[in-house]
């Protein structure tokens, strides 16, 4: 059997490029503006590449092994989310949450009124279908904290919805 | 008199949200699923919670990128990868391989 070689740039691109749109959606949850979200994705990828260069260079990969590609792609996705979360939460704060709430899409004002980290966790859980443990692993967050964020986000969203129905 | 569900049922009722949130451990999950399989009336309650999750999902903005925006962004990401993951070639052969890879990626 042929031994897999260390990852080349082209191979890394093949692994990472299908993640672009998912990363964009996550970024948009933090900064609800097309250009800001695109910039956040690019900055997160750059930060990841600079920090994880050694790991990428030493990683062996065989792109013909579909299962291996899936596992590796998910691993890269999780790491990219970590960088995107760190940068995005900070950026969201710098841009001013208040202005984001105003400039964000009106139909999703309830979602954007949540704390940025809660928005991210809610999207990861209910849209990207990550488990509580996986989310905890991504953000290096204890299990109870992830559950608390999911619970709070869920409560605030559904509570606001009920208010709307009463009106 | 209000009829209360048996304690074991109440314990499992409390776990429905956690089950759907993926917050149960593997053992708890298996135990919960085993209980539900023997208590079909629980399925309605799970369905109610599932509907709640569907409503919750409707609050999450679903944005898609235009094909041109996606292409532009992928181009930028590719450039970052090729610039930031550059390594010092060990010999002439590796140097040639790197140059070919860069040339091929820009085609």
Nearest-by-Cβ selection for B69 from A16, A38, A150? A38
For chain A, say whether B43 makes contact (Cβ under 8 Å): no
Of A23-32, A45-54, A87-96, B89-98, least confident by mean pLDDT is B89-98
Can you state the angle between helices A66-95 and A9-16, rounded to 10 degrees? Answer: 70
C-alpha span between A118 and A139 (Å, rounded): 12
Give A60's strand partners. A6
Q: Which residue of B20, B63, B75, B97 to mutate against A (max A Cβ within 10 Å)?
A: B63
pLDDT surpassing 80 at residue A161? no
Q: Could you report the per-residue pLDDT of A42-97, keeping only the tens digit for each?
A: 999 999 999 998 888 888 877 777 788 899 999 999 999 999 999 999 988 877 65
For chain A, say whether B7 makes contact (Cβ under 8 Å): no
CB contact under 8 A, B60 and A122: yes
pLDDT at position A97 is 58
- Top-confidence residue, A3 or B22: B22
Tell me the average pLDDT across B56-84: 91
Distance from CA of B2 to the nearest CA of A (A): 27
User: Which chain B positions have a beta carbon within 8 Å of A100's beta carbon?
Assistant: none
Tell me the average pLDDT across A101-120: 80
């Amino acid at each position: 059997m042929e031994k897999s070689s260390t990852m080349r740039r082209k191979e890394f691109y093949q692994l990472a490029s299908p993640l672009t749109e998912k990363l964009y959606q996550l970024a948009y949850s933090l900064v609800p503006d097309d250009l800001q979200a695109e910039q956040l994705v690019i900055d997160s990828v750059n930060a990841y590449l600079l920090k994880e260069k050694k790991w990428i260079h030493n990683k062996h990969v065989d792109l013909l092994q579909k299962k291996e590609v899936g596992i590796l792609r998910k691993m890269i996705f999780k790491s990219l989310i970590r960088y995107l979360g760190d940068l995005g939460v900070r950026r969201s704060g710098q841009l001013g949450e208040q202005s984001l709430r105003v400039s964000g899409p009106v139909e999703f004002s309830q979602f954007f009124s949540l704390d940025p980290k809660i928005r991210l966790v809610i999207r990861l859980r209910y849209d990207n279908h990550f488990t509580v443990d996986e989310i905890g692993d991504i953000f290096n967050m204890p299990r109870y904290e992830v559950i608390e964020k999911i619970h709070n986000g869920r409560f605030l969203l559904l509570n606001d919805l009920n208010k709307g129905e009463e009106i | 008199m209000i009829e209360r569900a048996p304690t074991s049922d109440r314990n499992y009722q409390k776990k429905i949200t956690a089950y759907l949130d993926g917050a149960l451990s593997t053992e708890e999950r298996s135990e919960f699923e085993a209980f539900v399989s023997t208590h079909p009336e629980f399925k309605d309650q799970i369905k109610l919670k599932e509907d709640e999750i569907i409503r919750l999902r409707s609050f999450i903005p679903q944005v898609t990128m235009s094909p041109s925006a996606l292409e532009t962004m992928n181009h930028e990401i590719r450039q970052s990868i090729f610039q930031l993951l550059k390594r010092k070639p060990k010999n002439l052969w590796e140097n040639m391989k790197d140059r070919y890879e860069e040339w091929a990626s820009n085609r």
